[in-house]
Structure 1
Amino acid sequence: MGKLSLIWGLAKVLGPEALAKAAYSGKLDVVDGRVIDPKAKAVGDLVMQLRDIDAMPALEESRRQLDTMAVKFDLPCPDDVVTRDITLPGLTGDRAARVYVPAGGDVMAAQPTLLFFHGGGWVQGSLTSHHSMCGKLAKQAGIRVISYDYVLAPEHKFPAAPDDVLTVYQALLDGAGGLNVVAESLIVGGDSAGGNLTAGLMHDLVSRGLPLPKGQMLIYPAVDGRMNSASLAALARQPLLPKIRIDWFLDHYLPEGQDREDPRFSPLLSDHLAGQPPAFIIAGGHDPLWDDGLAYAQALSDAGVDVQLVTYEGQVHAFMSLTKVIPQGREAIAKTAVWLKGQFAK
């Protein structure tokens, strides 16, 4: 990789949107009629320059890379958001969590709350990688956000993560942490693998007759473990989430012989969609999980669930964690905050 090539790649990513548009004039990728956003294209090209998408890093290196990418390419958590690190009871004992409230807010008071599960392919992601997203949602929606550091694979393979998020959900409703959480003022959400865990949790709650939250927020969720969608095939080489990396995640996450149609892993196949709380779903058209988001929105709607689907046809996976360099990421955060605020106003 030449130095000038790298400098040009960084310029397209970090520079104004107009520069990326000019650089890619007439040279943007098109998948099934969906044209990639120029800034998203620039990020993907830079990723291609910096790493071989066919070579998987060591697990700890991959975890460091995700946290580093968030710091470099996501706008920081707003300075005036109040945060507090706590522990909450999970599957393996007390686990780390971080609470966010808007400026002047009371961390412990009963209030509208989002319980958030980060993305990262079930093997990476942390309170650090999604710190910014949680802070922005807390500020813009005017709510409390609780980000929970659930167990990761391969140290804890499926179904440990679904069991963990079910454990912390029930613990919060039972008064854990003195946070005064009640189901009627709680929305559960997450991105990517965190969206998968959110959808799986809804299946668990309905199938077990447990109290439901007020809503579910699913940001480019993975919901179909069969991994045979048209978008996955068409975007198998998309740099932000190539199929080889998805397979690497699953090799770490799933036990040998695991049924991929288990609704706790493939919530799209759940027979307990009816009766679920209102859903907000975001999908990106250059994300291999595009079809997952659309199919889940349709399945929930067919089951009588109120669904708001927001699509960004030119966007890539994780674009809402790249708000420093992708303007549509900032727009999507704002739209998500509007939905959250609207749900709590009902």
Structure 2
Amino acid sequence: MTEFLIGVVAVLAVLGLFQIFFLRGPDLRAFDGPVGQRHGVDRPPSAEHGALVSSLGGISAALKSVPRRQHLAWLRRYMDTAFPLDDPSVRIIPADAGGVPAEWVLAPNADPERRLLYIHGGAWTMGSPTSHRRLTAKFSEVADAAVLAIDYRLMPEHPRMAGIEDCRTAWRWMTDHGPEGAAPARAMFVAGDSAGGNLTLSLIAWLRDQGLRAPDAAVALSPATDATLGSPSLKGNLETDPMLGPLFKALARIPRTMLLWGGWAQSRRRPCHPVVSPVFGDLSGLPPVLVQASEAEMLFDDARRYVNKAVAAGSPATLQTWPHMVHVWQLFHPDLPEGQEALREIGAFLRARP
């Protein structure tokens, strides 16, 4: 009996060490310091933001009447209809980006030699170019660029790496193709929100490592950067995040160990591998990066730690935060004043590049 207990303790010890060193990755608490450029700290959130927060409760209520096995399909339909583009002056041109379904989004007078790859969010399981047209149209306007919005492969129908490969393929294709056909680009950018922000930051590190053309700048909105679930704000902001909080409250009750093993099984990558957790990678030698996040959202520390680590590595990264906003509040422009403000900052950042 004693030998059996000793064996059990030894196995548990090995599994614990494996989790710490193989799944969790290095300790990132050293990058919990500076917050960056804080906006809106001298004023309360707008009335429009209050109305938005109230409306989000309707999503959770509606999901309660949907069978759990149909939740993903329901959320996908919701995302594709929640943010319609109502500007007839914006052109939408279907594209095949080297085998990746995509569309060009062009605001009036957008420069086709300035190109921006946009990678939509949606927890790697939902979202599309259609769901983000209102935002990609605004990016085209503020960046004075043709935006290539890609329909990368989603989970669970496809493995995590399939979407990552689609982003890489689309970037290489965009270097030589514009909305009017084959033509070189004068300036190139990449941007994404949430899961798309994760894919954006993963892409720029891969381009550096491959010696391929780097973007002139990158923008990540509320990016997920740490798949090990180590950011304090994941739990600390659970109650202040009206969008992600209700959706992921159940996951917060599951032991982190189980979630880490599940993440490894799902992606076949260590949760701390830089391809899925950009914050754990080498963040030196990156192009200028602008990250925007809400101090109230669950992914706040994902954003803060990434920028602080990139700055420590010598890369020109900037963090801009707002104190009360919902996750990816930029999507809710033009109704949301804070969304308009954030997009003006993005425009100034991108237009400062050639």
Normalising by structure 1, report the TM-score.
0.77
2:79 is aligned, of 66, 88, 95, to: 66
Question: Are the counterparts in 2 of residues 113 and 185 from structure 1 also a CA contact under 8 Å?
Answer: yes
Q: Distance in 1 between matches of 2:94 and 2:177?
A: 17
What is the Cα deviation at residue 180 of structure 1? 2.2
Number of corresponding residues: 299
2:97 is aligned, of 75, 88, 99, to: 88
* Larger-Rg structure: 2
Q: Partner of 1:283: helix, strand, or coil?
A: strand
Q: Partner of 2:308: helix, strand, or coil?
A: helix
Q: Partner of 2:57: helix, strand, or coil?
A: helix
Q: Distance in 2 between matches of 1:134 and 1:195?
A: 14
Residue 269 of structure 1: aligned partner: 280
Bigger mean CA deviation after superposition, 191-200 or 134-143:
134-143
What is the Cα deviation at residue 181 of structure 1? 4.1
Normalising by structure 2, report the TM-score.
0.76
Q: Partner of 1:116: helix, strand, or coil?
A: strand
**Which amino acid is 1:67 matched to?**
D
Residue 7 of structure 1: aligned partner: none
The alpha-carbon distance between structure 1 residues 211 and 270, as it changes in their structure 2 partners (threshold 3 A), is: same
Question: Are the counterparts in 2 of residues 36 and 286 from structure 1 also a CA contact under 8 Å?
Answer: no
The alpha-carbon distance between structure 1 residues 82 and 257, as it changes in their structure 2 partners (threshold 3 A), is: closer
Q: Distance in 2 between matches of 1:320 and 1:203?
A: 25
Q: Partner of 1:320: helix, strand, or coil?
A: helix
For residues 69-97 of structure 1, the C-alpha deviation after alignment (integer angstroms, 9 at most, x for no partner) is: 223xxxx35332333112212xxxx2321
The alpha-carbon distance between structure 1 residues 297 and 235, as it changes in their structure 2 partners (threshold 3 A), is: same
Residue 293 of structure 1: aligned partner: 303
Question: Are the counterparts in 2 of residues 77 and 135 from structure 1 also a CA contact under 8 Å?
Answer: no
Residue 99 of structure 1: aligned partner: 104
Residue 303 of structure 1: aligned partner: 313
Question: Are the counterparts in 2 of residues 116 and 146 from structure 1 also a CA contact under 8 Å?
Answer: yes
5+ residue gaps, structure 1, are 1-33
1:206 aligns with 2:208: yes
Q: Distance in 1 between matches of 2:300 and 2:151?
A: 26
Question: Are the counterparts in 2 of residues 113 and 145 from structure 1 also a CA contact under 8 Å?
Answer: yes
The alpha-carbon distance between structure 1 residues 244 and 336, as it changes in their structure 2 partners (threshold 3 A), is: same
Q: Distance in 2 between matches of 1:253 and 1:118?
A: 23
Map residues 225-264 of structure 1 onto 2, 5 A cutoff: 225-237=227-239, 238-242=241-245, 243-244=248-249, 255=266, 258-264=269-275
**Which amino acid is 1:185 matched to?**
A
Residue 19 of structure 2: aligned partner: none
Q: Partner of 2:160: helix, strand, or coil?
A: coil
The alpha-carbon distance between structure 1 residues 78 and 137, as it changes in their structure 2 partners (threshold 3 A), is: farther
Map residues 1-346 of structure 1 onto 2, 5 A cutoff: 39-52=48-61, 57-71=70-84, 76=85, 78-89=87-98, 94-105=99-110, 109=112, 111-175=113-177, 178-182=181-185, 185-237=187-239, 238-242=241-245, 243-244=248-249, 255=266, 258-271=269-282, 273-344=283-354
CA RMSD of superposed structures (Å): 3.0
